Structure 1
Amino acid sequence: MSGRSGRPWTKGEPISSEPRYRSIAADLAEKIRAGHYAPGDALPAQRDLSHSYGVTLMTLRQALRHLSDEGLIVQQAGKGTYVSPPHLAYRLGSLRSLADDLRDQGHEVHTRVLDSSLRRPPSAVAVQLGAPALRLERVREFAGRAAVHQVSWVRKPFGNRLRAVDFTTKSLYAALADAGVAVARAAETIRPDVLDETLAGHLRAAVGTPVFVSDRTTYSLDDTLVVVDRAVILGEMMEIRAARAATGLSLTWSGSQP
C-alpha cells in the first residue's frame, strides 16, 4: 500500500503530522540541554547527521535553522556548526569589578594579565588622570574562550600601591579596597562596535566581529577620579541586563553623532 505521494509505508506504522525537521531539532535540542553536546562543541558534519537521521540534507538544514533561531547553535560558514556558548550577563546596576560580577553569577573566569606597568596614558586619559599612571591590561576567559579585553588606567598614587598585586586572582576593585581606596561611584557608557585588528588576536576572533565597548570612570569617596577603564566584550558571549526601579538605575540613550 502507498500513501498519496506514492511512497510505500509499512502497514500499521504510525504517521506523524509533525514535520520531520522539527523532530530532529527537538532531539538535538534535548541532547544539547542534557550535555551530550557541551557549549562550544562542534556538532557532527551535516552529511553525517543527515545520514544518522535518515533524511536529506535539506531537511537536516531546516532543523539546524530552527536550532539557530532558538539560539542553541551557531553556524560558522566554512567551519561547521557549534553549540552556543553560555552567555555572561553584564549587570548595569552593580558597582563592582566585572570579574567579581561574573564569578558571582557562577562562571569560572580566568584572567590573563598582558601588562601591569607605569606608563604615560593616551592624551584623553592623561587629561583626566595625569601622567604617568598604572596601565593594567587583561583578557578574561570563560567556557574555554577569550571573551573580554580590558585596559584599566589607575591614577599614580593609587596605582603605586597595586604594583605587587597578582591580578590573575584578584580584581582591581578588591585590590583598591585592600589598599585603602573606597570606591564610591562610577559612570559608564556602552556602545556597539566591531572588533579591530589590534584586539582580534587577543580575543581570537575575526576582525569585524560584533562587540560591546564599555568605557567606565570610577571615583573614590572624595570624588577623586581613580580609574579610567575600557572593556571590549565579544557580542556573542555577553548579554546586558538592567534592573529598573523608580529610584534606581537611570539609563540614557543617545544616537551616534554624524
Structure 2
Amino acid sequence: MADRVPAYRRIATDLAEKIRDGVYRPGDALPAQRELSASYGVTLMTLRQALQELRDQGLIVQQAGRGTYVTPAHAAYRVDTLRSFVEDLREQGHEVTTVVLSLENGVLERLRLLDGQPAIHQTSRIAVPLAPEVDFRIVSLYSALAEAGAVIARASERIVPGLLPEDVAGFLERPAGSPVFVSERTTVGLDERILVEDRAIILGDLMEIRAERAATRLSLQWGSSVDLG
C-alpha cells in the first residue's frame, strides 16, 4: 500500500514530521534542493512537488535566489502572501507606473501613477544596504530586499483616513487638505530586525479598501473607486 503513495507525498510527510519534531526549527534553512533530491533519491521535479505540498500547508517559505526556510512560528504573514496595493491594482488590470522621486541615505521616495494619474506618494525607510543599480521603476522593493539577502518574516500595516499634506499635494496634483488614506507598514525580518518602514499617502477619491470576511480569515484589498478609463 505504501508503494501507491506518490514519492513526493512521502517526502513531504517526512519533512513535515522533521519540522514538527524540531529537526528543522522555525526560521531554519532547509538543505539545498539538489542535496535533498539526492538524499531522497528522486528528481528535482519530484522534490519540488514535495516542497509545494509543504508551502501549501504553510510549513515553509521560499525566497527566490536565497533558498527554502521553515516558516517562522511568530510570522503574521507568510512571505509568499505579502501583498501591496500596487499588486492588488495590477491584478485587477490597472496600469501602475512608478516614478522614483529620490533615493538617498536609505530613504526611497516614489510616486505611483494609476492608469496615468498620480494616486499614491510613498516613502520607504530601508535598513538593508541595497545594490546601487536597482531600478525601482521596474523592480519591487521586496525583490530588492531578497536580492540583498534579507528574509522577510512578517509585516504589520495600519491604515487611517487623513488630509493631504501641503508638501505632497503637488506630486498628487490635488489641493492640500484633500481626503486621503495614510498607510503605515513595518516589514520585519527573521531576526526581528525592522527591514522597511513605509508611509504611503493614497488619494481618497481614487482608491478604496475592499474587505472580504470569512469564518476564519479577513482579506483586505485595494481597488480603484472610479473608472479611470
TM-score interval, smaller chain: 0.5 to 0.7
Question: Shift in Å at residue 207 of structure 1?
Answer: 1.2
2:147 and 2:218 mapped to 1: Cα distance? 27
2:132 and 2:84 mapped to 1: Cα distance? 18
Question: Shift in Å at residue 250 of structure 1?
Answer: 8.7
Q: Who is 1:96 aligned against?
A: 83
Contact 2:180 2:204 in 1 (8 A): yes
1:219 and 1:243 mapped to 2: Cα distance? 25
Moved runs in structure 1, 4+ residues, more than 6 A? none
Q: Percent identity?
A: 54
Matches within 5 A, 1:122-137: 134-137=106-109
1:219 and 1:246 mapped to 2: Cα distance? 28
Contact 1:96 1:173 in 2 (8 A): no
Say which SS state the counterpart of residue 205 (structure 2) adopts. Answer: helix
Under a length normalisation based on structure 1, what TM-score does the superposition of the two structures give? 0.51
Question: Shift in Å at residue 102 of structure 1?
Answer: 2.2
Question: Shift in Å at residue 203 of structure 1?
Answer: 0.4
Contact 2:211 2:219 in 1 (8 A): no
Q: Who is 2:124 aligned against?
A: 152
Runs of 5+ consecutive residues of structure 1 not aligned to the other structure: 1-93, 119-133, 252-258
Say which SS state the counterpart of residue 82 (structure 2) adopts. Answer: coil
2:213 and 2:153 mapped to 1: Cα distance? 20
Q: Who is 1:117 aligned against?
A: 104
Runs of 5+ consecutive residues of structure 2 not aligned to the other structure: 1-80, 221-229
Structure with more of its chain in strand, by fraction: 2
Matches within 5 A, 1:24-63: none
Matches within 5 A, 1:160-179: 160-179=129-148
Contact 1:97 1:171 in 2 (8 A): no
Question: Shift in Å at residue 173 of structure 1?
Answer: 1.1
Give me the CA root mean square deviation.
1.9
Contact 1:97 1:173 in 2 (8 A): no
Residue 192 of structure 2 is aligned with which of 223, 230, 235?
A: 223
CA 245–105 in structure 1, closer or farther in 2 if over 3 Å, else same: same
Q: Highest Rg: 1 or 2? A: 1
Under a length normalisation based on structure 2, what TM-score does the superposition of the two structures give? 0.57
1:250 and 1:240 mapped to 2: Cα distance? 10
Matched, 1:142 2:114: yes
Contact 1:190 1:214 in 2 (8 A): yes
Q: Who is 2:95 aligned against?
A: 108
